[in-house]
């Protein structure tokens, strides 16, 4: 089959000042996975190439790396699907320090995971003699999220982590979801309060990279959205993230459009003077660059139509047993 150039990131911590790319040529065989190719390169061309692997069947997560800029599991990816102009470029997972070649230091990932008390905290008072009961539907709530293999592909491609290392990250938020939605857990409220704080569930920007890269059914973004809904429903709205979401909705309902003066103040909280002062410099810089929105609020022409949509939605939700978010000042 076709000859492919593998362009692979090389770096050794403590020795190399900066990384470089090394090229290896390999004739792809029918059905070759990316991991097979790496093994062939290592076995026949360069034994010094370092990468992790273990199960070879997409359940351990060791061989997560970036191919052509995006995270994936090398063991379950057909190499032929990655060839672009005869080249496959391989990099270590993003958002991690590199130890050697494609091997990264995963410690930030594990440290994040530990922050959400990732273990079941049941109500020990009513523990039955046998197993606790759970309906198939209740198991279904955590079926997808418990497929997570902690491969850190989501962490690698997360756009928030790229600029904010304190963000809990997609896998950790999925782990939190796993317990919030487990009917056997008794600490849901506490867990939700924890991840509603800054750096938690509200800091996700919905870019969706985590779910696109996730090699399992965990799909962190979907779990983050479910968690946000649960957080609102539980009435945990006293956080900038929740206020931002509510403010967004209020703004849409009242003005028919986003009011960019109202939103930051609403998000910080009207009486949060230090918080508001904190965002002031951004506002001033925007003004100086003539990017600031007009001071006077602007209503769109057919704002009545928008309000009618909100009203209709509210009625529908009422009739469906109120599955929407319960919030203070609910409209």
Closer of 47 and 69 to other proteins (Cβ): 47
Nearest partner of 220 among 164, 149, 121, 116, judged by Cα: 149
Residue 127 found at the interface with other proteins (CB under 8 A): yes
Closer of 47 and 329 to other proteins (Cβ): 47
For the chain, report the end-to-end CA distance as a whole number of angstroms.
63
Residue 59 found at the interface with other proteins (CB under 8 A): yes
32: its two tokens? 């070759």
Other beta carbons within 10 Å of 274: 7
Residue 186 found at the interface with other proteins (CB under 8 A): no
Pick the binder of other proteins from 21, 23, 25, 55 (CB under 8 A).
55
Residue 60 found at the interface with other proteins (CB under 8 A): yes
Closer of 16 and 315 to other proteins (Cβ): 16
Pick the binder of other proteins from 58, 83, 265, 306 (CB under 8 A).
58
Residue 113 found at the interface with other proteins (CB under 8 A): yes
Closer of 170 and 241 to other proteins (Cβ): 170
Region of 182-190, 240-248, 257-265, 323-331 interacting with other proteins (CB under 8 A): 182-190
Q: Which residues on neighbouring strands pair with residue 72, listed in sequence order? A: 65
Residue 135 found at the interface with other proteins (CB under 8 A): yes
Assess contact for 88 and 7: CB atoms under 8 A. Answer: yes
Q: Tell me how far, at minimum, the Cβ of 132 lies from other proteins, in Å.
A: 6
Closer of 50 and 234 to other proteins (Cβ): 50
Pick the binder of other proteins from 126, 131, 301, 328 (CB under 8 A).
131
Which residues, numbered 190-249, are part of the site for other proteins (CB under 8 A)? 217
CA 310 to chain centre: 29
Alpha carbon distance 222, 205 (integer Å): 13
Q: How far is CA 228 from CA 109, 129, 201, 225, 286, in A?
A: 22, 35, 7, 5, 30
Q: Tell me how far, at minimum, the Cβ of 149 lies from other proteins, in Å.
A: 7
Residue 54 found at the interface with other proteins (CB under 8 A): yes
Pick the binder of other proteins from 22, 68, 89, 147 (CB under 8 A).
147
Q: Tell me how far, at minimum, the Cβ of 234 lies from other proteins, in Å.
A: 21
Nearest partner of 98 among 165, 9, 13, 8, judged by Cα: 13
Pick the binder of other proteins from 118, 278, 297, 322 (CB under 8 A).
118
Which residues, numbered 89-108, are part of the site for other proteins (CB under 8 A)? 99-101, 103, 105-106
Residue 171 found at the interface with other proteins (CB under 8 A): no
Nearest partner of 77 among 86, 93, 66, 92, judged by Cα: 66
Region of 73-81, 162-170, 200-208, 315-323 interacting with other proteins (CB under 8 A): 73-81
Closer of 135 and 319 to other proteins (Cβ): 135
Alpha carbon distance 189, 117 (integer Å): 13
CA 196 to chain centre: 14
Q: Which residues bind other proteins (CB under 8 A)?
A: 12-15, 31, 33, 42-44, 46-48, 50-62, 76-78, 99-101, 103, 105-106, 110, 113-114, 117-120, 122, 127, 130-136, 138-139, 142-143, 146-150, 179, 182, 184-185, 217
């Amino acid at each position: 089959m076709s000859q492919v150039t593998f362009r692979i990131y090389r770096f050794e911590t403590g020795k190399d000042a900066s990384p470089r790319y090394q090229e290896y040529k390999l004739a792809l065989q029918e059905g070759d996975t990316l991991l097979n190719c790496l093994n062939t390169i290592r076995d026949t061309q360069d034994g010094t190439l370092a990468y992790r692997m273990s199960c070879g069947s997409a359940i351990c997560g060791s061989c997560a790396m970036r191919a052509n800029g995006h995270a994936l599991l090398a063991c379950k990816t057909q190499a032929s699907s990655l060839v672009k102009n005869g080249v496959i470029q391989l990099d270590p997972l993003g958002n991690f320090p590199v130890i050697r070649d494609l091997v990264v230091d995963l410690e930030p990932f594990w440290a994040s995971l530990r922050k959400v008390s990732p273990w079941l905290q049941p109500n020990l008072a009513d523990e039955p003699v046998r197993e606790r009961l759970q309906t198939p539907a209740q198991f279904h709530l955590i079926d997808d999220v418990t497929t997570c293999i902690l491969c850190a592909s989501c962490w690698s491609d997360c756009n928030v982590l790229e600029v904010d290392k304190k963000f809990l990250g997609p896998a950790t938020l999925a782990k939190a979801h796993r317990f919030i939605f487990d009917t056997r857990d008794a600490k849901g409220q506490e867990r939700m309060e924890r991840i509603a704080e800054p750096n938690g569930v509200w800091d996700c920007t919905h870019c969706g990279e985590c779910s696109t890269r996730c090699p399992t059914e965990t799909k962190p973004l979907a779990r983050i959205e479910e968690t946000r809904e649960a957080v609102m429903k539980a009435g945990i709205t006293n956080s900038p993230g929740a206020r931002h979401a509510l403010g967004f909705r209020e703004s849409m309902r009242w003005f028919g459009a986003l009011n960019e003066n109202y939103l930051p103040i609403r998000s910080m909280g009207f009486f949060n003077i230090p918080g508001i002062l904190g965002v002031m410099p951004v506002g001033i810089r925007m003004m100086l660059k003539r990017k600031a929105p007009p001071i006077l609020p602007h209503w769109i022409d057919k704002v009545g139509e928008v309000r009618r949509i909100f009203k209709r939605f509210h009625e529908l939700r009422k009739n469906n047993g109120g599955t929407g978010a319960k919030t203070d000042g609910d409209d």
